[in-house]
């Protein structure tokens, strides 16, 4: 036993000496030995988990929205929206642009209260029939979502929230950032064309006019530039901008003169043939939600006056440059400004109502009171939705 102990001690001493020698002579393995003998360094900290979607209430100026509003009362709501938006995109790759724009028009006129969706009545012209709404499109997607939501969870999902959720999903499916909105908006009882005329900014506005328009909605210059980035997807009609950009100045106003000439010829050719052609707002990537719109503006290819001028005014130029250089910065700013926009003039709690159909206010008896708020055609008693020139009306007997 004693002998074994002596051999073991000698063995250990010899091994230690060998290792020391190896170290001194620069043996290539000495490093690994040192690692073995050293206390293992602490593992690098795991990367912080990405912040998940917010939960719980979102209190804003006394009104109450909740990130979990539909979790219990309509758990399939988000899946319905996702599915219907995907179907729309499969039909038309510009669908995200149409759907995002609907939300903007709803929020800027009387608040995000679904008033945009109400049809005109015999005595009242609604928002959607005002000139600035003429080129809005794909109301039928909202109706399809509403029908599916009503089938899954009757009477709880508001049209105002459908517009909000659809815009969020549209941005996502076009390649844009996730936008976390709280829900619980309720629907307006009225809709007025005059309000759309007053509140919707025109594509002919210069920066000062745009700033004032956004200020009236409680939005600032950062919101203006970030939200203008929505024009990274979609198109505009030639009739919308040709007068403003070419006829008034009398020459080619595009900083990229070749591009201006190209656009002008293209539009003129269409006009001659009696067609109002459509032009990409961001010629780089018309169906992709990215930051290329800002580079288009910098490169002198902004189509609308309101786009081009963002790179003319010293108050907006730095932001345009920043978003053009950094897509992450644009995405963050866009998501934040969308959250602000989504809270403009909302109805919550017991205000307004949750419409059963988005294009008509709830009613007990349409026929008894055809002139008040309802979509009632006195000539042929049918209900037509969505009663827009740009969509095919779907009519059913009332």
- Binding site annotation covers 147? no
Interface residue with ligand HEM among 33, 82, 237, 366 (CB under 6 A) is 237
Query: Is residue 153 a contact partner of residue 76, using CB atoms and an 8 Å limit?
Result: yes
- Supply φ then ψ for residue 194, to 5 degrees: -60, -35
Interface residue with ligand HEM among 88, 118, 168, 230 (CB under 6 A) is 230
Interface residue with ligand HEM among 109, 142, 159, 304 (CB under 6 A) is 304
Interface residue with ligand HEM among 89, 94, 242, 319 (CB under 6 A) is 94
Select the span of 8-16, 31-39, 94-102, 123-131 touching ligand HEM (CB under 6 A): 94-102
Under the binding rule (CB under 6 A), the answer on residue 277 touching ligand HEM is no
> Nearest approach, Cβ of 321 to ligand HEM (angstroms)?
18
Name the nearest CA neighbour of 88 among 149, 138, 161. Answer: 138
Query: Is residue 142 a contact partner of residue 391, using CB atoms and an 8 Å limit?
Result: no
Angle between the N-to-C axes of helices 317-325 and 221-228, in degrees from 0 to 180, rounded to the nearest 10: 50
Beta carbon nearer to ligand HEM, 301 or 361: 301
Name the nearest CA neighbour of 287 among 233, 335, 329, 235. Answer: 233
Q: What is the dihedral of CA 241, 242, 246, 249, to 10 degrees?
A: -50
Interface residue with ligand HEM among 104, 289, 311, 359 (CB under 6 A) is 104
Under the binding rule (CB under 6 A), the answer on residue 221 touching ligand HEM is no
- Choosing from 84, 105, 185, 295, the catalytic residue is 105
- How far apart, in whole angstroms, are the C-alpha atoms of residue 107 and residue 109? 6
Cα dihedral across residues 149, 155, 159, 161: positive or negative: negative
Under the binding rule (CB under 6 A), the answer on residue 234 touching ligand HEM is yes
Interface residue with ligand HEM among 74, 80, 89, 97 (CB under 6 A) is 97
Identify the residue whose tokens are 């009236």.
Answer: 216
- How far apart, in whole angstroms, are the C-alpha atoms of residue 309 and residue 317? 9
- Binding site annotation covers 206? no
Count CB-CB contacts under 10 A for residue 65.
20
Under the binding rule (CB under 6 A), the answer on residue 201 touching ligand HEM is yes
Let me know if 105 is a catalytic residue: yes
Binding site for ligand HEM (CB under 6 A): 94, 97-98, 100-101, 104, 135, 137, 201-203, 205, 210, 224, 227-228, 230-231, 233-237, 240, 281, 304, 306
* Binding-site annotation, residues for substrate: 201
Residues labelled as active-site residues: 105
């Amino acid at each position: 036993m004693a002998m074994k102990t002596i051999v073991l001690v000698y063995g250990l001493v010899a091994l230690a000496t060998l290792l020391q020698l190896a170290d001194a002579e620069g043996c290539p393995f000495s490093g690994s030995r040192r690692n073995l003998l050293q206390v293992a360094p602490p593992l690098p900290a795991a990367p912080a988990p990405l912040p998940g979607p917010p939960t719980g209430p979102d209190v804003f100026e006394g009104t109450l929205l909740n990130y979990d509003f539909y979790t219990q009362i309509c758990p399939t709501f988000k899946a319905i929206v996702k599915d219907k938006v995907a179907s729309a995109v499969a039909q038309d790759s510009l669908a995200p642009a149409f759907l995002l724009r609907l939300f903007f028009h709803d929020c800027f006129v009387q608040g995000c209260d679904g008033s945009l969706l109400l049809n005109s009545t015999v005595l009242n012209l609604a928002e959607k029939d005002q000139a600035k709404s003429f080129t809005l499109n794909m109301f039928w997607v909202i109706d399809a979502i509403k029908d599916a939501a009503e089938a899954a969870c009757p009477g709880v999902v508001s049209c105002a929230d459908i517009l909000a959720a659809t815009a969020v999903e549209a941005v996502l499916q076009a390649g844009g950032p996730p936008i976390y909105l709280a829900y619980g908006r309720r629907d307006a009882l009225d809709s007025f064309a005059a309000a759309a005329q007053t509140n919707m900014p025109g594509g002919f506005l210069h920066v000062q006019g745009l700033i004032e328009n956004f200020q009236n909605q409680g939005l600032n210059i950062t919101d203006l530039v970030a939200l203008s980035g929505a024009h990274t997807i979609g198109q505009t009609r030639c009739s919308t901008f040709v007068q403003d950009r070419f006829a008034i100045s009398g020459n080619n106003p595009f900083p990229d003169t070749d591009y201006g000439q190209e656009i002008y010829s293209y539009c003129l050719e269409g006009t001659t043939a009696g067609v109002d052609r459509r032009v990409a707002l961001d010629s780089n990537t018309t169906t992709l939600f990215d930051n290329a719109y800002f580079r288009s503006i910098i490169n002198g290819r902004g189509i609308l006056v309101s786009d081009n001028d963002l790179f003319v005014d010293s108050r907006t130029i730095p932001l345009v440059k920043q978003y053009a250089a950094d897509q992450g910065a644009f995405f963050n700013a866009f998501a934040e400004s969308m959250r602000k926009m989504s809270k403009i003039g909302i109805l919550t709690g017991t205000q307004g109502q949750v419409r059963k159909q988005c294009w008509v206010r709830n009613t007990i008896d349409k026929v008894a009171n055809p002139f008040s708020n309802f979509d009632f055609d006195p000539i042929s008693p049918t209900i037509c939705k969505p009663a827009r020139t740009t969509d095919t009306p779907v009519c059913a007997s009332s």
